[in-house]
């Protein structure tokens, strides 16, 4: 599992959201969102920025390039 998928799952769980809810928030079908958490696909740049903004973390944190969560 990639750092991205691990961090995405952790952030979602911290918020108490289900995968289906995250898919709706992101404008994706459930399977499309699940692919992010199962590390079989990644969001495009706009999707990555959306997720970072939604969770209030930096893209570097989300991608596993930094352990500093703050933007």
- Which residue ranges form the domains of the chain, and what is each CATH number? 3-63 (1.10.260.40)
Q: How far is C-alpha 59 from the geometric centre of its chain's CA atoms?
A: 10
Convert the pLDDT of each residue in 5-42 to its tens digit.
999 999 999 999 999 999 999 999 999 999 999 999 99
pTM recorded for the entire structure: 0.92
pLDDT of residue 70: 78
A 10 A CB-CB count for 62 gives 21
Q: What is the pLDDT of residue 1?
A: 63
On the 0-12 / 13-18 / 19+ scale of CB atoms within 10 A, 16 is exposed
């Amino acid at each position: 599992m990639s750092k991205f998928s691990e961090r995405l799952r952790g952030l979602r769980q911290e918020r108490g959201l289900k995968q289906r809810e995250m898919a709706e928030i992101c404008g994706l079908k459930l399977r499309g969102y699940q692919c992010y958490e199962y590390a079989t696909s990644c969001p495009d740049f706009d999707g990555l920025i959306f997720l970072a903004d939604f969770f209030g973390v930096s893209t570097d944190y989300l991608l596993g390039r930094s352990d500093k969560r703050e933007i």
